């Protein structure tokens, strides 16, 4: 009866842990070796899946064996797709019981545990541990090339089976064409478009990757690493940057003809014919002063009037610039403003006088005649009558017989007047 119950218990332990169709096969060949420092080196045979892909394993372990139906292991640990692993962090002197299952891409688990093994961490049983290669880095170098770096030089026994690459989120396996060892680096060649840009992948080294002396990679934390697929989509060519400045103006000259009238000089030039010409700049420097800020005259300008000061030195420069803001070196001209000449009116020219000929007078002989006395009486009868009238008037005004000085005044006046009238009519003709 007891043997029957024991058989029944063992049969129950063999019942599927997860009931799904097409679960991975049972893991076989599990072995364990104690390692100094509280570790156990485990190895096993690769599991298979009839219609799926095995993507990893699950390790069950504890200090109590699983014998009865209700017994469970105290600890579980997910392991990547490898066939060797080092379980660390264990207690010296303890005996550990371990079993293993396989997991496929649909997360189906083996229907039964592997055969349970028991390993005691007895220092007397330890052997010198030979350390296998450990993965230290992974880089996606090209679309179909992946580099895996180890802590020592390696050799690859099976190029196609040396690594397993899976997408982290889905567990989907990535096809590998081949693997080549080069010193401490393994170069994995992938099929085109095997990786998706930006996705995270896990790459795991199998026991086909060995050290130079033949020690295989140890399963555990040192046999795998994650990486993110890079983007190798060809970048669009950047637009060509225009760094070529347009041509300079030609024929630059200064015309000072208008300075006397409006105080300006005219700067003249020939504009270039560049298709992308955007403007023409004018810069002015007066004497030893700094250059004044430039003024954009427009791409079609050919002259400019600039106010200047008489007697001052100037330097003027014309540059061109294009739509990309490239500016030419420019053409310059230096000059001194001429002072305006003061207009002096010329004196009016008078026609030259012809020399006058001196007239020589012919001397005329004259005969000096002695003045002759005119004895003829030229007294006019009218004068006599007038004198008489005056005399009579004077006589009537005074009494000639009267005595005293005043009695003769009218009479004397009359005589004087008569004498003057007579003199007026007498002339003395003198002939020279």
C-alpha closest to that of 186 among 221, 224, 218, 213: 224
How much is the pLDDT for 417? 62
Dump pLDDT digits (tens) for 113-134. 999 999 999 877 776 555 789 9
pLDDT recorded at residue 268: 95
Residues 297 and 279: beta-carbon distance below 8 Å: yes
The answer to whether the CB of 26 falls within 8 A of the CB of 94 is: no
Q: Where are the alpha helices (DSSP H) in 230-306?
A: 259-262
Pairing mode, strands 277-286 and 313-322:
antiparallel
Closest CA to 37 of 77, 90, 112: 90
Span 250-336 CATH architecture: Sandwich (2.60)
Contact (CB, 8 A) for 147 and 189: no
Query: What single DSSP character describes residue 173?
Result: B
- Whether 2-125 shares its CATH topology with 250-336 is answered yes
- Residues 227, 148 contacting (CB under 8 angstroms): no
The answer to whether 220 touches 235, Cβ cutoff 8 Å, is no
What does the alpha-carbon distance between residue 314 and residue 319 come to, in Å, rounded to a whole number? Answer: 17
Tell me, which fold does domain 135-228 have in CATH? Immunoglobulin-like (2.60.40)
Phi-psi region of 371 (alpha: psi -120 to 50; beta: other; left: phi over 0): beta
Enumerate the domain spans of the chain. Answer: 2-125, 135-228, 250-336, 381-424
pLDDT at 351: 63
Counting as low any pLDDT under 70, the low residues of the chain are 1-21, 127-130, 219-221, 340-432
pTM: 0.35
The answer to whether the beta carbons of residues 299 and 333 sit under 8 Å apart is no
Spell out the CATH class of 2-125: mainly beta
pLDDT single digits (tens) 222-251: 789 999 999 988 878 888 888 999 999 999
Q: Cβ neighbours of residue 393 under 8 Å, at least 6 residues apart? A: none
């Amino acid at each position: 009866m007891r043997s029957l119950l024991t058989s029944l218990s063992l049969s129950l332990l063999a019942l599927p842990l997860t009931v799904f169709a097409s679960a991975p096969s049972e893991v076989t060949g599990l072995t364990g070796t104690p390692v100094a420092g509280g570790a156990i080196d485990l190895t096993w045979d690769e599991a298979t899946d009839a219609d799926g892909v095995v993507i990893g394993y699950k390790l069950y372990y504890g200090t109590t064996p699983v014998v009865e139906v209700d017994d469970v292991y105290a600890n579980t640990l997910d392991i990547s797709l490898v066939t060797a692993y080092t379980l660390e962090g264990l207690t010296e002197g303890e005996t550990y019981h371990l079993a293993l299952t396989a997991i496929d891409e649909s997360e189906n688990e083996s229907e039964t545990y592997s055969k349970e093994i028991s390993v005691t961490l007895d220092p007397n049983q330890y052997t010198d541990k030979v350390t296998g290669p450990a993965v230290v880095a992974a880089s996606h170098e090209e679309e179909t090339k992946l580099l895996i770096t180890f802590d020592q030089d390696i050799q690859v026994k099976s190029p196609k089976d040396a690594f397993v690459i899976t997408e982290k989120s889905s567990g989907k396996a990535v096809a590998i064409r081949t693997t080549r060892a080069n010193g401490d680096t393994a170069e994995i060649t992938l099929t085109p478009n095997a990786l998706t840009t930006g996705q995270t992948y896990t790459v795991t080294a199998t026991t086909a990757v060995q050290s130079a002396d033949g020690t295989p990679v140890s399963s555990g934390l040192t046999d795998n690493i994650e990486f993110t697929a890079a983007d190798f989509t060809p970048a669009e060519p950047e637009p060509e940057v225009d760094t070529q400045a347009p041509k300079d103006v030609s024929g630059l000259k200064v015309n000072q003809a208008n300075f006397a009238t409006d105080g300006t000089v005219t700067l003249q030039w020939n504009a270039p014919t560049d298709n992308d010409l955007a403007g023409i700049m004018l810069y002015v420097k007066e004497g030893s002063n700094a250059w004044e800020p430039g003024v954009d005259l427009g791409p079609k300008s050919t002259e400019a009037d600039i106010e200047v000061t008489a007697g001052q030195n100037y330097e003027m420069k014309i540059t061109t610039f294009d739509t990309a803001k490239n500016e030419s070196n420019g053409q310059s001209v230096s000059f001194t403003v001429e002072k305006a000449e003061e207009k002096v009116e010329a004196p009016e020219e008078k026609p030259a006088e012809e020399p006058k000929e001196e007239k020589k007078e012919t001397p005329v002989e004259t005969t000096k005649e002695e003045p002759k006395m005119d004895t003829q009486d030229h007294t006019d009868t009218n004068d006599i009558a007038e004198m008489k009238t005056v005399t009579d008037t004077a006589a009537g005004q005074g009494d000639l017989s009267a005595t005293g000085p005043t009695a003769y005044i009218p009479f004397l006046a009359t005589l004087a007047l008569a004498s003057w009238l007579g003199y007026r009519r007498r002339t003395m003709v003198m002939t020279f």
